Amino acid sequence: MHPIWERADGRRLLLNPHLGTAKEFKALSEVNHSFRHHLFEAKRSTRVTNERQLAILSQRFPRVRCVTLDRLNLSGRDLGADLPQGVREVALTDCHSNDARWAESLRTVSLQRLTFSGLGLYRSSVCAEVIEHLRHVGTLRHLEFRMSVHNHDVSIMRSWMEGIARLSSLQTLALPTGNYYSGYSEWQPVCAGVPQLQYLIVPANNADVDCPEHLLTLMGFSQLRALDLSKTTPSKQVLEAIAQLPRLQALSVRVDSKASAHKILTRCTSLEVLHLNMHDIGTFSDADELIRSLASLPNLRDLVVGGQIFGPDEVRALRDIRSLRSLSVRIDESCMDDPELAQQLNGYLNSGRRAGHPMDLSGIVPLG
């Protein structure tokens, strides 16, 4: 149970006064969850686990928008006919196929988001052909790979990376995790070939743990509006490159110093959603400069700060940032000794209201 402090103007502050629940708090405030948020568990969504369910899907759920196909054989299927015409998001989880007909049929639906989970289709001999067919799905905006790629998969990876670079409608790309030795440099021409790419999710590549400068090969795309580096440890050069992205609106990043944080906050003035991981800095006594930098961002609406503990005065200062709609921070026990803060927090603790995740990218990641 986490308290919510909701102000009269509708702005919401999400706080955690319990210093002993760090694990629970980390799960709550993990911004990567919201960056990768999908609607498969929301209303008008369903999961299909066998061919019989798929055959009646469009008749039984004509208005469903989000479909997860779980461990299905897609060989020879006219998937465009199987899916409801209103479908916008499809996740393929551990599916397999020996042909690409199902991908070709997707041009008949207005698909906006496609997620590959598992290596079944990735290692298929027709994967490159599948990606090529996606070129004809003119509404496709979001492509995500939720899988771990290793050295022996690199040759397969290269074959369909060229196809991704030709997806002219693509705006969001989530790279696969793994241990492929070529690292992020393999993805640079892909990103460069998609000029309208606005949202990039960069997971940790085990091969780059000791060479975070490889991330620089993915920077420099001035059109980027959202960048998730939450699973990496960027070097000073990468942090400097981030500060050169003037149109950045959403950012999840681990900083190595207050100076790095200040530079990003003073240069990336378009930020609306920010997750600042400050665990590497150590607890500092004076957060005034940080708060002033945050307050200078005119459009900042969702903020998560990890690795620091804020006292009553700092919480009030954060609360007074006029543009903020939600806030997630760890607070000092002394906040509970403050009558005003304690009254607000306890009121929500006793009301039984449960906190949702504070972050929301719906206004930033374009889904059509």
**DSSP characters for 117-150?**
ESSTTTTSTTHHHHHHHHTT-TT--EEEEESEEE
Q: What pLDDT, on the 0 to 100 scale, is given for residue 205?
A: 63
On whether residue 313 sits in a domain, the answer given is yes
Question: Please, what is the average pLDDT of the chain?
Answer: 75
Q: Using one digit for the tens of pLDDT, what is the confidence trace for 347-361?
A: 433 333 233 333 333
Question: Tokens for 331?
Answer: 């607070």
On whether residue 220 sits in a domain, the answer given is yes
On whether residue 234 sits in a domain, the answer given is no
Do 225 and 257 reside in the same domain of the chain?
no
Do 196 and 133 reside in the same domain of the chain?
yes
On whether residue 246 sits in a domain, the answer given is no
Q: Which residues contact 188 (CB under 8 A, 6 or more apart)?
A: 217, 218
Global pTM? Answer: 0.67
Q: Which residues contact 15 (CB under 8 A, 6 or more apart)?
A: 2, 3, 4, 5, 315, 327, 328, 329, 331, 335, 345
User: Does residue 242 surpass a pLDDT of 80?
Assistant: yes
Do 5 and 61 reside in the same domain of the chain?
no
CATH of the domain at 351: 3.80.10
Do 149 and 61 reside in the same domain of the chain?
yes
How far is the C-alpha of 213 from the C-alpha of 189, rounded, in Å? 17
On whether residue 240 sits in a domain, the answer given is no
Do 138 and 49 reside in the same domain of the chain?
yes
Do 75 and 172 reside in the same domain of the chain?
yes
On whether residue 236 sits in a domain, the answer given is no
Q: What pLDDT, on the 0 to 100 scale, is given for residue 140?
A: 94
Do 355 and 225 reside in the same domain of the chain?
no
Question: Tokens for 76?
Answer: 């020879």
3-state secondary structure at position 181: coil
User: Does residue 166 surpass a pLDDT of 50?
Assistant: yes
Which range of 102-111, 232-241, 359-368 scores highest in mean pLDDT? It is 102-111
User: Does residue 91 surpass a pLDDT of 80?
Assistant: yes
| Number of domains within the chain | 2
Q: What pLDDT, on the 0 to 100 scale, is given for residue 9?
A: 45
How many secondary structure helices (H) and strands (E) does the chain include?
A: 14, 16
Question: Tokens for 313?
Answer: 């005065």
How far is the C-alpha of 314 from the C-alpha of 257, rounded, in Å? 19
Do 41 and 173 reside in the same domain of the chain?
yes
Do 174 and 69 reside in the same domain of the chain?
yes
Amino acid at position 134, single letter: L
Kindly state the helix (H) or strand (E) to which residue 221 belongs, with its residue range. Answer: none
On whether residue 245 sits in a domain, the answer given is no
Strands 326-331 and 148-150: unpaired
How far is the C-alpha of 241 from the C-alpha of 245, rounded, in Å? 7
Do 43 and 148 reside in the same domain of the chain?
yes
Q: Where are the beta strands (DSSP E) in the chain?
A: 4-6, 12-16, 45-48, 66-70, 89-93, 113-117, 142-146, 148-150, 172-174, 177-179, 199-201, 226-228, 250-254, 273-277, 302-310, 326-331
Name the nearest CA neighbour of 67 among 52, 54, 51: 54
User: Does residue 216 surpass a pLDDT of 80?
Assistant: no
| Contact status, residue 287 vs residue 258, Cβ threshold 8 Å | no
3-state secondary structure at position 257: coil
Length of the chain: 368
Q: What pLDDT, on the 0 to 100 scale, is given for residue 264?
A: 92
**Mean pLDDT of all residues in 54-77:** 90
Q: Give the least confident one: 99-108, 149-158, 177-186, 270-279.
A: 177-186
**Helical H segments across 30-126, by residue range:** 31-35, 51-55, 57-60, 79-82, 101-104
On whether residue 244 sits in a domain, the answer given is no
> Which structural domain range is residue 333 located in?
1-30+251-368
Higher pLDDT among residues 335 and 25, named by residue? 335
